Structure 1
Amino acid sequence: MKPIFVQFKCRPGQAYKVADTLVETVEEISEVYSTSGHYDLIAKFYLDDDKDIGRFVTESLQPLDGVADTFTLVAFKAFGRA
């Protein structure tokens, strides 16, 4: 499994609706947070190693109602306490 983070810029007044839709309909989601700054939400997804990230984002996330833009980050290694 590979983790990716996607930031979402939502249409005005749509951030909570988009967050609810992500949680309810996207199987690969781990968590979603509301944020301040250039983007309204950030979500973490776990994809199978053979899953195409570009197709996942452009076909499963960008078309969601209320999404205006996305910015995708690919994670390489998680650090934490042992």
Structure 2
Amino acid sequence: MQTIFVQFKCRPGRAYAVADGLVEAIEEVSEVYSTSGHYDLIAKFYLPDERDIGHFVTERLQTLDGVADTFTTVAFKAFGRG
């Protein structure tokens, strides 16, 4: 399983609609948060190992209505208690 985080810059007034669209339309999404700073949202996705991250981001995420820009981070290892 691949874990990626994608930050979204949304068109003005569209951040909540983009967040709703991610939750409704993208089954690979785990969590979506609104954020401050250069990007409006950050979302965590789990993709199967054979899934091409580039195609997923450009074809499924960047094409959502209201998305102006994205920034993708690939996660390698999760650290935590337990």
- Give TM-score, length-normalised by structure 2: 0.99
> 1:63 deviation in Å?
0.5
Residue 13 (str. 1) matches residue 13 (str. 2): yes
Instruction: Give CA deviations for 1:14-37 in whole Å, capped at 9, x if unaligned.
Output: 000000000000010000000000
Aligned length: 82
Q: CA RMSD in A?
A: 0.3
Which structure 1 segments of 5+ residues have no match? none
* Structure 1 stretches of at least 4 aligned residues deviating more than 3 Å after TM superposition: none
- Give TM-score, length-normalised by structure 1: 0.99
Instruction: Give CA deviations for 1:17-61 in whole Å, capped at 9, x if unaligned.
Output: 000000000010000000000000000000000000000000000
Indicate the percent of aligned positions where both proteins have the same amino acid: 80
Q: Match of 2:38?
A: 38
Q: Distance in 2 between matches of 1:59 and 1:2?
A: 17
- Residue type matched to 1:69 in 2? D
